[in-house]
Amino acid sequence: MSRRQTERRTKTRRTVSRMDVTTVTLDGVTDVEDRASWLVVVIRIPASPSRHRVAVWRELRRIGAVPLGGGTWGAPAAPVFADGLAKVADLAGRGDGTVLTLDAEPHSRGDAQALRGEFNAARAAEWAEFVSECDKFEIEIAKERRIGKLTVAELDEEEHSLDRLRRWWRDLKARDIFTVPEGIDAEDRLKRCTETLDAYADEVYAAAHAPLGRTFAGE
């Protein structure tokens, strides 16, 4: 066998080996997600007064649980959801209600994918709302720059708005355990908001330290 043929066969074996490893790894990740455990929460609360039912509903949505129908909700069995579900039980108890929490696994791969799809759709919707707020943040700063409102008070207000966006991003990121693509885009938008605020802060600093009798543009 020639040297060229030997090198070609060796290269082929290495390529096949890499493809086999990649396939096994991806299949393993899919299997792990499909076998992921879930928490199923069954809630019973008297219809009146309605404030207790509303409080429980709001808390379930806040922690990222998805409705399964008939007072039943689901969430991945991850520590990030534990505190929220404990609060749900407390709120239900205040309204003389009961909460039954079950550990569950999907019956089939199709069930697992459907459940994960519902969960990820809810996360994608939250990320879309977050990006919308990022848009408003950038539009607001663009307006202040356009009208020349370069004040420390306005900068402080925008910094508080950015801090709120950062806290919100951390909350969404914590429960986006399957990492939907919308979350990656949202992280990029948050970085852009930070850069926008930094540029605005530079202009506010320059305006605050401009010599008397001169405009911000130095004319």
Question: Got the DSSP string for 80-95?
Answer: GGHHHHHHHHHHHHHT
Local structure of 53: helix, strand or coil? helix
Helix, coil or strand: residue 118: helix
Least confident of 102-111, 119-128, 191-200: 102-111
First to last CA, the chain: 81
Nearest to residue 200, comparing CAs of 157, 133, 136, 150?
150
* Token couple for 90: 């407390």
Pairing relation of β-strands 38-44 and 72-76? Answer: antiparallel
Digit-coded pLDDT (tens) for 187-218 = 999 999 999 999 999 999 999 887 655 544 44
Q: Return the structure tokens found at 26.
A: 């991806």
Token pair 């909460």: residue = 99
CB 44 within 8 A of CB 71: yes
111, 105, 118: which is closest to 178 by C-alpha?
118
CA 24 – CA 96 distance, rounded (Å): 50
What local confidence, expressed as pLDDT, does residue 212 receive? 54
Q: What angle do CA 65, 69, 73 make, to 5 degrees?
A: 25
Q: Is the pLDDT of residue 93 over 90?
A: yes
* pLDDT, tens only, 26-73: 333 344 455 679 999 999 999 999 999 999 999 999 999 999 998 999
